[in-house]
Amino acid sequence: MKLQDLEIIVTAPPAPGWGGRYWILVKLTTDTGITGWGECYASSIGPEAMKPVIQDVFQRHMEGENPENIELMFRRAYSSGFTQRPDLTVMGAFSGLEIACWDILGKDRDRPVHALIGGRMNDRIRAYTYLYPLPHHDINEFWTSPELAAESATEMVRQGYTAVKFDPAGPYTMRGGHMPAMRDISLSVEFCKAIRGAVGDKADLLFGTHGQFNTGGAIRLGQALEPYAPLWFEEPTPPDNIDDMARVAKNVRIPVATGERMTTKSEFATVLRNGAAEILQPALGRAGGIWEMKKVAALAEVFNAQMAPHLYAGSVEWAANIQLAASIPNILMAECIETPFHDALIQGSIRVEEGFITVPNTAGLGIQVDETLARAHPFTGTDLHLNMREEPCDYKNGNSFAGGAPPLES
C-alpha cells in the first residue's frame, strides 16, 4: 500500500466562526483506494500560501511511501532543508498529513486508531468547553460581562460539562507580553467570582490567557485569581521564553497549562524540564501529529504531568485528539467545540454526552467526513485563522477580547 493522491479543502465555518476563520482539511488516497482525512492547524500564513507547502511536504517526503512508515516520514519532514528543529509551518503541514495516514491505517485494518498506538486506556474522555454566548446574549457585551459568562457556565454545567474555560483578560497584542491593566485584573477576578458562584464545585474553572502578559504581569494576575481555585492558568506568557513561564509557575498557586502554539517533542520537553507547566495542551494538527504527541504523553508521564489536547479548529483535528486521548494514561480532558457545523462535518459520528466523549470503535479516526459540505463552504477571504492585534493594551479605556473570528472591519 502506497500514498498516491492528495486533495486539500479549505472550508469556512459559518459566523461567528467558533474554531477560527477556516479549517484546512487534507484527503489522502492510497494506490489501493483507501482514503484518510486529516486537518492542518497551520495559521502563520494564509491558506492559499499554505496549500503549496502541504503539497510540497507530501510530494517530497510522503508520496509513494507506505503510510505505515510514520517515523520515517516524520524524520524526513523534520530534517528537511538541513533543519532538524521545530518549524511551525512545516510541522503544521505534516501534522494533518500524518493524521490522515493513521486514518488510512485504521481503515485498512478495520481498527480504530487508538488500537494501533497502544490500545484503549480510556472508554470516555472528560470534555471541556470555552464559554460562548448563549442565543439570547449580546455577542459584543458577552466578553466583558461576568454575569453573562456565569449564565453560559450554568448552562454548560446543566448540559453535563465539568470544566469551563474563559478569557476576560485580553488583549492579545503583537507586541509580546504586557503588564495587564488594573481593570483587566479586576474584571478577571469578577469573572472568576461570578462563575464560581454560579457553578459552585460542579465544574472546574479553566482560566485562559493565551500569552498576553510579561512575567511580572502574569504573576500579579495569577495571584489575584488564586482564591477561586482555577484548575489551570493557560499560557500566561508568550511561548517563546520557557524560563519566564517557569517563573510564573513557581510564583502562582494555580497549575500552568501550555502547548497550543508548540510543536514536536523538542519544545514540549523543554517545558517539562524547566518546570514551566504541568498540563500540556498540544493541537495535534500543528504539534507533529498523533505519533509525535504519543511520545510527548510518555515524556509527560515521567514528569507527572497531564495532557489536555487543545482545539480551536475543526472536527477532524478533534477526532485525532480523541484517538490519542483514548490511548494514554495521563489524559486530563479534551477541549470541545459544539456547533452544528462541527457536528455536520463529521455527520454526528462523535459527540459530547453529559460532559464526556465516548471513544468510537469504528475504523480509523472514527468519523465520516461530509466532503460535499466541506466543499460547499470554501474560504474566500485573505485573513489568517486567528490574529494578534497591533494596538497596545489600553490602560485608560479598558480592553475587550472578542472571541471566535469576528467580522472584519471594512
Backbone φ and ψ for 180, nearest 5 degrees, come out as -65, 145
In sequence order, the 6+-apart residues with CB closer than 8 A to the CB of 102 are 36, 70, 113, 116, 117, 289, 290, 291, 320, 323, 364, 365
Beta bridge partners of 156: none
The answer to whether residue 91 is domain-embedded is: no
The answer to whether residue 339 is domain-embedded is: yes
Residue located via cell numbers 488594573: 182
- Encode the chain in three state secondary structure: CCEEEEEEEEECCCCCCCCCCCEEEEEEEECCCCEEEEEECCCCCCHHHHHHHHHHHHHHHCCCCCCCCHHHHHHHHHHCCCCCCCCHHHHHHHHHHHHHHHHHHHHHHCCEHHHHCCCCCCCEEEEEEECCCCCCCCHHHHCCCHHHHHHHHHHHHHCCCCEEEECCCCCCECCCCECCCHHHHHHHHHHHHHHHHHHCCCCEEEEECCCCECHHHHHHHHHHHHHHCCCEEECCCCCCCHHHHHHHHHHCCCCEEECCCCCHHHHHHHHHHCCCCCEECCCCCCCCCHHHHHHHHHHHHHCCCEECCCCCCCHHHHHHHHHHHHHCCCECCEEECCCHHHHHHCCCCCCEECCEEECCCCCECCCCCCHHHHHHCECCCCCCCCCCECCCCCCCCCCCCCCCCCCCCC
* Cell numbers given for 291: 505519533
In sequence order, the 6+-apart residues with CB closer than 8 A to the CB of 93 are 40, 42, 50, 53, 54, 56, 57, 58, 77
Long-range contact pairs involving 150-155 (C-beta distance under 8 Å, separation at least 24)? 150/194, 150/195, 150/197, 150/198, 150/199, 151/198, 153/195, 153/198, 153/199, 153/203, 154/198, 154/199
The answer to whether residue 283 is domain-embedded is: yes
The answer to whether residue 165 is domain-embedded is: yes
Omega before 146 within 30 of 0, i.e. cis: no
Angstrom distance (rounded) from CA 19 to CA 15: 10
The answer to whether residue 45 is domain-embedded is: no
Angstrom distance (rounded) from CA 107 to CA 101: 10
In sequence order, the 6+-apart residues with CB closer than 8 A to the CB of 353 are 160
The answer to whether residue 207 is domain-embedded is: yes
In the sheet that 35-40 helps form, which strands lie side by side, from edge to edge?
3-11, 23-30, 35-40
Which residue range forms the structural domain that includes residue 146?
115-365
Domain count, the chain: 1
Backbone φ and ψ for 208, nearest 5 degrees, come out as -90, 135
AA identity, residue 380: T
pTM value is 0.96
* Cell numbers given for 207: 482560566
Angstrom distance (rounded) from CA 95 to CA 123: 25
What pLDDT does residue 98 have? 98
Q: Is the Cα torsion angle 52, 57, 59, 63 positive or negative in sign?
A: negative
For residue 341, give the CATH number of its domain: 3.20.20.120
Beta bridge partners of 35: 29
The answer to whether residue 58 is domain-embedded is: no
The answer to whether residue 138 is domain-embedded is: yes
Cα radius of gyration (the chain)? 20
What pLDDT does residue 410 have? 39
* Cell numbers given for 181: 491593566
pLDDT in tens, the chain (410 residues): 999 999 999 999 998 889 999 999 999 999 999 999 999 998 899 999 999 999 999 999 999 999 999 999 999 999 999 999 999 999 999 999 999 999 999 999 999 999 999 999 999 999 999 999 999 999 889 999 999 999 999 999 999 999 999 999 988 888 889 999 999 999 999 999 999 999 999 999 999 998 999 999 999 999 999 999 999 999 999 999 999 999 999 999 999 999 999 999 999 999 999 999 999 999 999 999 999 999 999 999 999 999 999 999 999 999 999 999 999 999 999 999 999 999 999 999 999 999 999 999 999 999 999 999 999 999 999 889 888 888 999 999 888 777 555 555 53
